[in-house]
Amino acid sequence: MPASVSPRIRTLVDALPLRPHLRVLEIGCGPGAAARTVAARLGTGHILAIDRSAAAVAQAVAGAPEAIAAGRLSVRRVAAEDFALEPGEQPFDLVFAIRVGGLDGRHPETGRRILQRLAAATTPDARLFIDGGDPLRELPIPRP
């Protein structure tokens, strides 16, 4: 596990039901500490870390050259409420978000838009976790 990870991030990642082959989406990756930690646990899987901030995306990319080169991590600048799979991109099995206002109740309308986007970008049995539980809370992904 990357040494520069805070105990809080380490606890949250440890609580995720990760398996080596999963396709994982992190919403609001910030500088990428959690994404790097997840990438270190993936074998054939992949994590896509997204953030609306260009500065955060640049930090996440700069901090993970090995994981990006190995194909276990990619980073994309996009707001969660605008997220969509790119052509040919496979859906995600697991989604998580740490301190994302659209999913923790601070911005309910944004949260509804994010959940709609996730329904279209995840597998039918995908799971969504946010911080705020013990240590995580699972949210349902509404399906049409």
Closest-CA residue to 49 (of 73, 70, 20): 73
CA distance 61 to 49: 10
What is residue 120's predicted lDDT score, i.e. its pLDDT?
97
Map residue 3 onto helix, strand or coil: coil
Rounded to two decimals, the pTM is: 0.96
Q: Provide the domain count of the chain.
A: 1
Each residue's pLDDT tens digit, 21-49: 999 999 999 999 999 999 999 999 999 99
First to last CA, the chain: 38
- Alpha-carbon torsion (86, 54, 75, 6), positive or negative: negative
Q: Decide if pLDDT at 124 tops 80.
A: yes
Q: Decide if pLDDT at 130 tops 90.
A: yes
- Residue 107: which pLDDT band, with cuts at 50, 70 and 90? very high
Any alpha helices (H) in 63-100, and if so which ranges? 65-69
- Alpha-carbon torsion (87, 76, 15, 40), positive or negative: positive
- The residue segments making up the domain with residue 38 are 7-136
Query: Chain-centre distance of CA 23, in angstroms?
Result: 10
Query: Does residue 141 form part of some domain?
Result: no
Both tokens of 115, joined, read 């959940």
Q: Which CATH number covers residue 89?
A: 3.40.50.150
- Residue 144: which pLDDT band, with cuts at 50, 70 and 90? confident
Query: Does residue 1 form part of some domain?
Result: no
CA distance 47 to 51: 13
Each residue's pLDDT tens digit, 80-89: 999 999 999 9
What is residue 1's predicted lDDT score, i.e. its pLDDT?
45
Map residue 21 onto helix, strand or coil: coil
